[in-house]
Homo-oligomer: A and B are copies of this chain.
Amino acid sequence: MTTHWSELYAERTQGLTGSAIRELLKLTQNPEVISFGGGMPAPEMFPLHEVEQACCRVLATNGPAALQYGATEGYPPLRDMIARHTARYGIRVKPNNVLITTGSQQALDLIAKLFIDEGDTVIVDAPTYLGALQSFNVFRPDYASIPMDSCGIQVDALKSVLRARPKFMYLLPNFQNPTGLTMSLERRKAVVKLAAASGVPIVEDDPYGQLRYEGEHLPSLALLDSETHAAGRKNGEQLGNVIYLSTFSKTLAPGLRLGWIIAPTEVITRLVQLKQGADLHTSTFAQAVAYEVARGGFLDQHIRALRQEYRRRRDVMLAALADEFPPDWGVTWTHPQGGLFLWVCLPAGMDSQTLLAAALKQNVAFVPGNSFFAPDYPRAEANRYMRLNFSYAQPDQIREGIRRLARAVGEALGAGVAYAAGVA
């Protein structure tokens, strides 16, 4: 009897498909293609020497433990360092509020497992991080997509869905993926207040918070929430209604697969149980190496260098866009204050998936916007956008890549006179 695999798959997997980003990552292996696709850090900035030194130190001083099974919660010195680092930004957390995850992506999987039953409502920005949608989709939620403006998620729209008792809202307040937008302080306060009043937790994803290139650092939703509620917490815990996620992927190296969750201990306890079944624990060796690289202040210094380099690349991309895209094309884009991405809006009726095929012929890649919208969002609107990454390509490539992209857009506009007419 032949095995009919497809008849055996769980219902939850029926709608799953590969991610557009993943297929794009494959294309970027062609050296001819300039990729604004993946969210990859600049490889030439990786601190190879410090990582090598750290590997040698870890193996020399702590080798057997670093290669052995470890605690599901994470490597204790690293949890401790992350707790102290978090306290620098005002949230007093203890190491047992910290769970080390196999990249931030695993944090999203564990959170989906812990909270989402089929048909539960999850609130997301429109657009939002596509990897979060992938993690959540496995557990088949209903999405409530809330549109953003230049200050972040729109509060009035948020209010109206909070009544439906959603399980949580998933937000990226700093230099959001994919838009590059930052939630204003006023908006942060309003969202935290609304969430607390309705008892709907916030999952705050902050992979880029340390990569700010202009403007003032803004307090995290976790901090604003803890300030509001500190007095009423049991066990002296300052964490209330927010689960906070971050990662070493953008500040140190994504290849180590190290992220973390900061949450009330009762939530951490449940997530730890789920993590046991997911991968027992995150690589002890990777954790020990990251700890050795980060301690003593090196990581802070490295992040300053990253900020300088990425600010330069962002500025090159913004200047190239202004040079190559004439105003009468009706193409607009965001001006991110940090992070890795900016978000381009094409004229109404233009489809960024069609544009990608043309762009690839010009040897330039990006991620079409529609991947970043939950299924409840209108497709025609979603198809107008594209996400551009400015951290991976070097400045010369950025200029050349934007030139190629403009050529593809110009040709599409020329072919479809309707677009131009609509804009004029």
Tell me which residues from 262 to 308 in chain A have a Cβ below 8 Å from any Cβ of chain B: 264, 266-267, 270, 272-274, 276-286
Question: Measured between alpha carbons, how far is A280 from B40 in the docked complex, in Å?
Answer: 13
Residue of B nearest to A284 (CB): B255
Question: Measured between alpha carbons, how far is A56 from B55 in the docked complex, in Å?
Answer: 8
User: Is A349 positioned at the interface, with any CB of B under 8 Å from its CB?
Assistant: no
User: Is A197 positioned at the interface, with any CB of B under 8 Å from its CB?
Assistant: yes
* Nearest CB of chain B from residue A284's CB, rounded to whole Å: 4
List of B residues within 8 angstroms of A280 by Cβ:
103, 105, 131, 257
19 new A-B contacts, CB < 8 A, other than A44-B64, A105-B278, are A1-B198, A3-B241, A5-B266, A8-B201, A9-B115, A10-B139, A13-B270, A17-B273, A18-B273, A25-B71, A26-B71, A43-B68, A51-B67, A67-B254, A105-B279, A131-B277, A135-B278, A138-B277, A257-B279
Chain A 42-65, CB-CB to B under 8 Å as 1, else 0, gives: 011010100110011001100111
User: Is A320 positioned at the interface, with any CB of B under 8 Å from its CB?
Assistant: no
Is A257 a contact of B270 with CB atoms below 8 Å? no
A interface residues with partner B (beta carbon < 8 Å): 1-6, 8-13, 16-19, 22, 25-26, 38, 40-41, 43-44, 46, 48, 51-52, 55-56, 59-60, 63-72, 102-103, 105-106, 108-109, 113-117, 120, 131, 134-135, 137-139, 167-168, 196-199, 201, 232, 240-241, 249, 253-257, 264, 266-267, 270, 272-274, 276-286
Report which of B38, B109, B241 forms a contact with A278, defined as CB distance below 8 A: B109
List of B residues within 8 angstroms of A201 by Cβ:
3, 5, 8
How many protomers of this protein does the assembly include?
2
Report which of B16, B105, B240 forms a contact with A270, defined as CB distance below 8 A: B16
List of B residues within 8 angstroms of A70 by Cβ:
255
* Nearest CB of chain B from residue A207's CB, rounded to whole Å: 12
Main secondary structure of the interface of A (DSSP, over half): helix
* Nearest CB of chain B from residue A380's CB, rounded to whole Å: 26
Question: Measured between alpha carbons, how far is A46 from B3 in the docked complex, in Å?
Answer: 40
Report which of B3, B19, B55, B197 forms a contact with A55, defined as CB distance below 8 A: B55
Question: Measured between alpha carbons, how far is A43 from B284 in the docked complex, in Å?
Answer: 13
* Nearest CB of chain B from residue A339's CB, rounded to whole Å: 16
Question: Measured between alpha carbons, how far is A124 from B196 in the docked complex, in Å?
Answer: 45
List of B residues within 8 angstroms of A272 by Cβ:
18
Is B18 a contact of A276 with CB atoms below 8 Å? yes
List of B residues within 8 angstroms of A11 by Cβ:
117
Is B113 a contact of A277 with CB atoms below 8 Å? no
List of B residues within 8 angstroms of A18 by Cβ:
272-273, 276
Residue of B nearest to A51 (CB): B59
List of B residues within 8 angstroms of A240 by Cβ:
2-3
Question: Measured between alpha carbons, how far is A273 from B22 in the docked complex, in Å?
Answer: 10
With A113-B10, A255-B66, A270-B9 as given contacts, are A279 and B279 in contact (CB-CB < 8 Å)? yes
With A114-B9, A241-B3 as given contacts, are A135 and B199 in contact (CB-CB < 8 Å)? no
With A137-B277, A197-B1, A280-B103 as given contacts, are A25 and B113 in contact (CB-CB < 8 Å)? no
